Structure 1
Amino acid sequence: MTQTRFDVLTIGNAIVDIIAPVEAGFIEAEGMKKGIMHLIEADRALDLYGRMSADKQQISGGSAANTAAGVASLGGRAAFVGKVAQDELGDFFEAEFKDIGVHYGTERLIHGSPTARSMIFVSEEDGERTMNTYLGACQQLTEADIVEDEIGGSAITYMEGFLWDPLEAKKAFVLAAHYAHKNERAAAFTLSDPFCVDRYRAEFLDLIRSKTIDYVFANVHELRSLYQTQDLGEAVRQIAVDAELAAITMGADGAMAIHNGEVISVPAFPVDKVVDATGAGDLFASGFLLGIARGQTLDSALKTGCLAASEVISHFGARPQIALTELTRAHGLAG
């Protein structure tokens, strides 16, 4: 077995989130539906980006990228694999990950689509967020981007279900799981989204039942969708049979882990106000994965995950605003 270099390596879509305020009427004038996420093409993305106000805020994002950032904030050794282009936003993405202590060494896309971006327009009159997402370079991840020494040196490799959309990324996903098992490491993935589950239910179930994937992450909606039932108890019973380990988030009701037929639940940590639920599942995964990678009990790993999620929902944005090591120490969850 390769020596452990990282606690958690995540693989997913590399996207830069760009947030900017807009005056009343802008959303309607641009033909957008307020509060909705719109998928757009390259020309539209470049046009909108060029018209965003000077006081725009940028942060590197994407679900698995957020999870890697959370692992680093918790004091873990994190790595991320995802594709950006050789452009300004690609430079930004790479530099930010270096700054937060996440290893990022994926080769840039030289000739092809620009770096993926999600432009979030915040209406000044009511604070509503309208998203315009261009996937671009992030969908060009291939098997060539999967490095065995990195996967083999990671206690856990964690991947997005969204990687199952592009064919080449799907191959990269399977190769990463193969490298993890070849080096006696665990492979994990998140179901990502109920609509993603609807598209690939049979294939996701095969990944789990064939033991290509060891650990499964989902929220209750995704889990019910996977087993096509509204009965959460029935869905839990089925995932207990299929998966070595499953971690299920339940919003205000906390989270549960299912392992060897045993179900362990913990409550959510209270917050004064839920400001923005974006990234809650990503940060839960950070805490739970790091806990498992470092040999914590399932109860402790669940609590660390719920604590990380509680911080990120208390403010706008999908990244912690304080070092999560401070929170874990305060709650006796360090290490």
Structure 2
Amino acid sequence: MSKGNFELLCLENPLLDIQGVGDASLLGKYGLKPNDAILAEQKHMGLYEDLLQNHDAKLIAGGAAQNTARGAQYMLPPDSVIYIGCVGKDKYAETLQEACAKAGLRVEYRYDEEQPTGRCGVVITGHDRSMCTDLAAANCYKIDHLKQPEIWSLVEQAKVFYVGGYHLTVCVPAVMALAEEAAAKDKACSYQQRRIFILSLSAPFIPQFFKDQLDQTSPYWDYVIGNETEALSYAEGHNINTKSIPEIAKAMASIPKKNTKRKRTVIITQGTDATVVAVEGESEVKQFPVPAIGTDKINDTNGAGDAFAGGFVAGIVMGKPLETCVGMGQWLAKLSIQELGPSYPFPKQTYA
């Protein structure tokens, strides 16, 4: 297989997922909801050891955009994807690096001297998953790392930037540096040299509690990806007075855009319901049915949205039509939910 040239660069919060099967009493013990994603408070700090000691927890390379980066690399030629974030100098960082190397993903971590590698407690209850994240070192990413000549040269080399919305809680200047680089290059360069900026909404609390940070990025979105609960949260915080997912997607597509050469595309997943896609300026909102999968084949839905984003973004990197990109995302998500955690099957399967 021919090699890539690190066309895709991803930025967010590298985490070690500590994932175990729990029940309502475990959720109640730590004040968690069955299908949610939150940042840890002091009352949650016992969860991680609890999962390891009492719930046969597995350690899995996590962090939403790191999952997406591994998924995109799964579908792209070797040496196509770089992932950037901040970890501690500890054994958990080594675990992450080993998992990424196995997946063929190049990482360029910033190593924090004081904080340990971030972790995410994942409580699986049936087909639901509750995620509780202690960012630790992931919260210490600095734009100085991104601006180092050897790292910035990778930024300049990439064609597509993918940023997880969780990073808006960490280092907005780094997100904006990528957004502005994409818009500037897209205006100035030939079609082959243009840059694309993609943002994931990541979780309902991002549009709810980090609205200002999110709104800084919105004029730069070439593509924005979210699920239905994130879309509803966005609508509530932005006076979009409807609960219709197609209408919300259409409203998001029409936000004023910095780079007017490229129309914005909004992609909203809805689990097993159709994926909704709205394109700026188009009256029709497209809906793509999700291929059925038997419930007996579903092992773990944790990371399904990250997997969809991985397949979709891989399609964008390859220059595929929008319909194919959605199909690639749905296909990779279908593979992922049959694995444990945000993982992909080996030997590699090929999208057809």
TM-score under structure 2 normalisation?
0.78
Q: Is the 8 A contact 1:49 1:119 kept in 2?
A: no
Q: Is the 8 A contact 1:254 1:269 kept in 2?
A: no
Q: Is the 8 A contact 2:20 2:51 kept in 1?
A: no
Q: Does residue 222 of the first structure (1) align with residue 230 of the second (2)?
A: yes
Q: Does residue 194 of the first structure (1) align with residue 204 of the second (2)?
A: yes
Q: C-alpha deviations, 1:145-203, integer Å up to 9, x for none?
A: 2232122222211111111113xx11111112223334431111111112211123354
1:270/1:6 Cα in 2 relative to 1: closer, same or farther (>3 Å)? same
Which amino acid in the other structure matches residue 245 of structure 2? Answer: L
Paired residue for 1:207? Answer: 217
Q: Secondary structure of the equivalent of 1:198? A: helix
Q: Does residue 161 of the first structure (1) align with residue 165 of the second (2)?
A: yes
Q: Is the 8 A contact 1:11 1:64 kept in 2?
A: yes
Distance (Å, rounded) in 2 between the aligned partners of 1:47 and 1:275? 22
Q: Is the 8 A contact 2:48 2:121 kept in 1?
A: no
Q: CA deviation at 1:5?
A: 2.6
Q: CA deviation at 1:236?
A: 2.6
Identity of aligned residues (%): 22
1:55/1:143 Cα in 2 relative to 1: closer, same or farther (>3 Å)? same
Q: Does residue 115 of the first structure (1) align with residue 125 of the second (2)?
A: no
Distance (Å, rounded) in 2 between the aligned partners of 1:240 and 1:51? 43
Q: CA deviation at 1:216?
A: 0.9
Q: Secondary structure of the equivalent of 1:192? A: coil
Q: Secondary structure of the equivalent of 1:283? A: helix
Q: Equivalent residues in 2 for 1:1-335 (5 A)?
A: 5-19=5-19, 27=26, 31-33=29-31, 39-40=40-41, 44=45, 48=49, 52=53, 56-76=57-77, 77-110=80-113, 112-120=114-122, 133-146=133-146, 147-166=151-170, 169-183=171-185, 184-208=194-218, 210=219, 212-228=220-236, 229-242=242-255, 244-262=264-282, 263-273=285-295, 274-322=298-346, 326-328=349-351, 332=352
Q: CA deviation at 1:275?
A: 3.5
Q: CA deviation at 1:310?
A: 1.2
Q: Secondary structure of the equivalent of 1:118? A: strand
Distance (Å, rounded) in 1 between the aligned partners of 2:26 and 2:252? 42
Q: CA deviation at 1:129?
A: 6.8
Paired residue for 2:191? Answer: none
Distance (Å, rounded) in 2 between the aligned partners of 1:213 and 1:99? 31
Q: CA deviation at 1:320?
A: 1.4
1:18/1:231 Cα in 2 relative to 1: closer, same or farther (>3 Å)? closer
Q: C-alpha deviations, 1:243-282, integer Å up to 9, x for none?
A: 6122221221231332243433321121111443221111
Distance (Å, rounded) in 2 between the aligned partners of 1:247 and 1:280? 15
Distance (Å, rounded) in 1 between the aligned partners of 2:251 and 2:130? 37
Q: Is the 8 A contact 1:45 1:134 kept in 2?
A: no
Q: C-alpha deviations, 1:89-111, integer Å up to 9, x for none?
A: 1111122212211110222112x
Extract unaligned runs of 5+ from structure 1: none
Q: CA RMSD in A?
A: 3.3
Distance (Å, rounded) in 2 between the aligned partners of 1:225 and 1:50? 30
Q: CA deviation at 1:44?
A: 4.3
- Count of paired positions: 316
TM-score under structure 1 normalisation?
0.82
